[in-house]
Amino acid sequence: MSNIQEKYIREINTSDSFFDSLRQDYKGFDTWIEKKANAGEKAYILFDDTKIVAFLYLKIESPIDNTDINPALDTNATWLKIGTLKIDAHGTKLGERLIKKIFDFAVANNIYNIYVTSFEKQAPLIKLLKRYGFVQHGKKINELVLTKNIPTSMQTLKKDILLDYPTVNATSNKYLLSIYPKYHTGMFSDSMLKTESYNILKDMSESNSIHKVYIAKMSGIEQLKKGDCILIYRTKDDNAQSANYSSVATSLCIVEEYRDLCSFDNLSNFIAYCKPHNKKLVALSWP
């Protein structure tokens, strides 16, 4: 199953070898996880068949637990702490999917300050967090403290699509883009309809990545500019008599780049450009 599930920690097999690295890095991990389980707390988890491939525990702190954080974080703000984030990386952009889940949780709970502690050796995770606006704030004993302040106004925007994510500049141009159902949920896994089966979700780059590559041949698309807003519109199901229940606007995207097909020297360059975000893209006709 490739759906990220929220489960009670007591329901998760925390003796699984997936958690061994956490035990090695954090002395007392078993005591901590047992305490969370007994308190009835929940975490997000993802399975590949029966194998655990991702675990995410989030904690709302108000007031903030500033113990050993130097310099101290703002005590007047409510913070979302990324308590535990572990991914079994296997080349499917799973880290980006978890980053989006963190931001979705924060915004849904009206929290705009996030922090996480991490060992310096976890360089790939730190690099990923910084890509989406986390900055090094200070230290907590022998760990780095990284923070992210989600912009809440035009004045706090950094005018950078990734650093401002998930906030968007709503003053830019806006367009509607329709996508057939058979392609929609494969690209926008968090925007699936309630009537759709989780079995259609796949642990693949095009589902997990925050960044999407959309290939089109339509007039007017050359007008798109970086920063433009695109509202994704899922068309009705093929067998539906009415569009009332399956035709719906589901997602908001921001244009990062527009490329004309003729700007690529050859097919190999085009595939190399698209492939990091779409493992299915292996061959296309070429003019």
Q: What are the backbone dihedrals phi and psi of residue 277, each rounded to the nearest 5 degrees, phi first?
A: -110, 5
End residue of a domain, out of 135, 160, 185: 160
Strand 135-140 to strand 79-87: parallel, antiparallel, or no bridges (unpaired)? Answer: unpaired
- Is 194 in the same domain as 145? no
Residues 102 and 149 in one domain: yes
Residues 231 and 147 grouped into a single domain: no
How many C-beta neighbours within 10 Å does residue 187 have? 19
Determine the structural domain holding residue 81 and report its residue range. Answer: 5-160
Q: Is the residue at 135 inside a domain?
A: yes
What is the count of structural domains for the chain?
2
CA angle 268, 274, 280 (to 5 degrees): 95
**Two tokens, residue 144:** 């780095």
DSSP H or E segment with residue 55 = strand 51-61
Residue-wise pLDDT for 187-197, tens only, equals 888 888 777 76
The predicted structure's pLDDT at residue 4? 85
- CATH number, residue 12: 3.40.630.30
Establish if 13 belongs to a structural domain.
yes
The enclosing H or E element of 186 equals helix 181-187
Residues 37 and 139 in one domain: yes
- 44 lies in some domain: yes
Distance (Å, rounded) from C-alpha 37 to C-alpha 137? 30
Note whether residue 167 is domain-resident. Answer: no
Local confidence pLDDT in tens for the 287 residues of the chain:
457 889 999 999 999 999 999 999 998 999 999 999 999 999 999 988 788 999 999 999 998 988 899 999 999 999 999 999 999 877 778 889 999 999 999 999 999 999 999 999 999 999 999 999 999 999 999 999 999 999 998 889 999 999 999 999 888 899 999 999 888 888 888 888 777 766 656 666 767 888 888 888 888 888 999 999 999 999 988 777 677 777 899 999 999 999 888 899 998 998 888 877 654 443 343 43
Q: Answer yes or no: do 9 and 151 share one domain.
A: yes
- Asked which of 94, 129, 160 is the last residue of a domain, the reply is 160
For residues 95 and 222, state if they share a domain.
no
In a domain, 286, yes or no: no
Report yes or no on 285 lying in a domain: no
- In this structure, the answer to whether residues 122 and 230 fall within a common structural domain is no
Residue type at 137 in one-letter notation: H
What backbone phi and psi angles, to 5 degrees, belong to 282?
-120, -25
Is residue 109 a part of any domain in this protein? Answer: yes
Domain boundary among 112, 135, 160: 160
